Chains A and B, each alone.
Chain A
Amino acid sequence: DAKTTQPNSMESNEEEPVHLPCNHSTISGTDYIHWYRQLPSQGPEYVIHGLTSNVNNRMASLAIAEDRKSSTLILHRATLRDAAVYYCILRDVEGSARQLTFGSGTQLTVLP
């Protein structure tokens, strides 16, 4: 799987938007961009995924660069419950491997 690069940590104020970046310069045409997050003392949970177009769901938005070499997870209004480690993961839908390969992720701290 192609690698991703994320900042180790970010801070945000409560009720403000948060933009979490991810670089994936070696992404292939069949790689989907997935985001998971892990709240303290919990298992990872799915946030959002996309291929080329920007995506929105009830949790977040995903903005994908035109060349697909980077993407940004957007939390529109951060709450204290959004404090977590956020993982950006590439999934090759045509590959045989079905597992997720987690990097070190970005630790998001939300300040009250």
Chain B
Amino acid sequence: DAGVIQSPRHEVTEMGQEVTLRCKPISGHDYLFWYRQTMMRGLELLIYFNNNVPIDDSGMPEDRFSAKMPNASFSTLKIQPSEPRDSAVYFCASSFHSFQETQYFGPGTRLLVL
């Protein structure tokens, strides 16, 4: 298995532009998570899905952020309009519902908003 795939790996954009981050979870996993990592706040959960349905989006900073999971093999995190404070590394992770529920993380997307 290729693991969790994220694209792009790096994104540089200007303030006000729309940014779309993409994630392909591990096949067969029914949970998908979006995390954000900054120096100031560390790793924090933004939103997670179970069977393509958003379960907890309380970590989404504001209305500028939206996430979708149209099918079991694809999810997007969109920021519109982007702001410099959105600069961070965004990780996608997936897991299979089990007693252990190990989460597998993608390599992350490093976003810089100028």
Which residues from chain A sit less than 8 Å from chain B, CB to CB? 36, 42-46, 49, 91, 93, 97-104
Contact = CB atoms under 8 A, between A and B. Distances in A.
A49 B45 CA distance: 20
Interface string B48-70: 10100001100000000000000
Contacts of A98: 31, 33, 48, 50, 55, 95, 101
A43 B42 contact: no
A33 B107 CA distance: 24
A43 B55 contact: no
B106 interface: yes
A44 B101 contact: no
How many B residues touch the partner, as a band?
Answer: 20 to 34
A24 B95 CA distance: 25
Contacts of A102: 42-44
A14 B41 CA distance: 31
A45 B107 CA distance: 10
A31 to B, nearest CB: 13
| Interface core residue of A36, A43, A45 (most chain B CB under 10 Å) | A43
B103 A100 contact: yes
A49 B98 CA distance: 14
Contact of B93 (A43, A49, A91, A93): A43
A73 B44 CA distance: 23
A43 B99 contact: no
A99 B91 contact: no
Given A93-B99, A98-B50, A99-B48, A46 B104 contact: yes
Contacts of A49: 100, 102
